[in-house]
Amino acid sequence: MKKTTKIPKATITRLSLYYRQLELLEFDGYRLVSSEKLAWLCQVNPAQVRKDLGYFGEFGIRGVGYDVRDLQAEIKKILAVNRDWNLAIVGIGKLGSAILQHQNLYIRGFKCVAAFDIDPRKIGKISPAGIKIRDIEELEEIARDLNIEIGVITTPASAAQGIADRFRRAHINAILNFSPARITVPECCLVENIDFTVTLDMLTYKLGHDIVQQYSA
């Protein structure tokens, strides 16, 4: 078992992909999988799979492969998804509502337990997901009561930084930001951005320059 090696960000992304493929393999009745097979399924190099896993321990059996179920459990531990996480969503427009109800998230243990907006016409209503839309002013209180650890921003760009600051005050230190705004947070906070236009720009760039497919995160 290694210690204190710096782990590439891409390794974590891949672990998430490995996990998903392991779920499918288990569903298909596989008990064992080799790094070669798993790599093939995830469109990466087999050595990459072994190296990625090697950062965290020795999970395989030499000459045999990896136990599908055991490896799933190990990756869940590594990604800290061996338990549920409570999410708050701010900005209950079309996108916010979609995420609020997104089955993939729920199944994987990401529970959207609170919804906020500033629009008085929305506040007090029950979202189709069955969750009451609250005034953003209540964020701090609700975050504490419901033990919310991840905040999701689905507001327009102009509101994003303000919401990030409010998350900070509510001791929500991890943010998933769907707005195209780039958020500034203190060192202790985490932000991941999902920006549709950036990803589309990547596609159009490649289309415009006749670049052929590599793998993509």
* CB of 43 vs DNA, minimal distance in Å: 10
Give the whole-angstrom CA distance, residue 187 versus residue 72.
31
Q: Which CB sits closer to a second copy, 13 or 126? A: 13
Q: Which CB sits closer to DNA, 48 or 86? A: 48
Pick from 76, 77, 96: nearest CA to 88: 96
Give the whole-angstrom CA distance, residue 28 versus residue 106.
22
* CB of 7 vs DNA, minimal distance in Å: 7
- Whole-angstrom CA distances from 120 to 65, 116, 136, 179 are 57, 11, 10, 21
Q: Which CB sits closer to a second copy, 32 or 189? A: 189
Q: Which CB sits closer to DNA, 56 or 85? A: 56
Compose the 59-98 pattern: x for residues touching DNA by CB under 7 A, - for all others: xxxxxxxx--------------------------------
Tokens of 113: 């337990």
Q: Which of 23, 30, 42, 45 binds DNA (CB under 7 A)?
A: 45
DSSP symbols for 67-134:
EHHHHHHHHHHHHT-SS-EEEEEE--SHHHHHHHT-HHHHHTTEEEEEEEES-TTTTTPBPTTS-BEE
Compose the 21-40 pattern: x for residues touching DNA by CB under 7 A, - for all others: ------------xxxx----
- Residue 58 interacts with DNA (CB under 7 A)? yes
Binding positions for DNA, rule: CB under 7 A:
2, 6, 8-11, 33-36, 44-48, 50-51, 53-54, 58-66
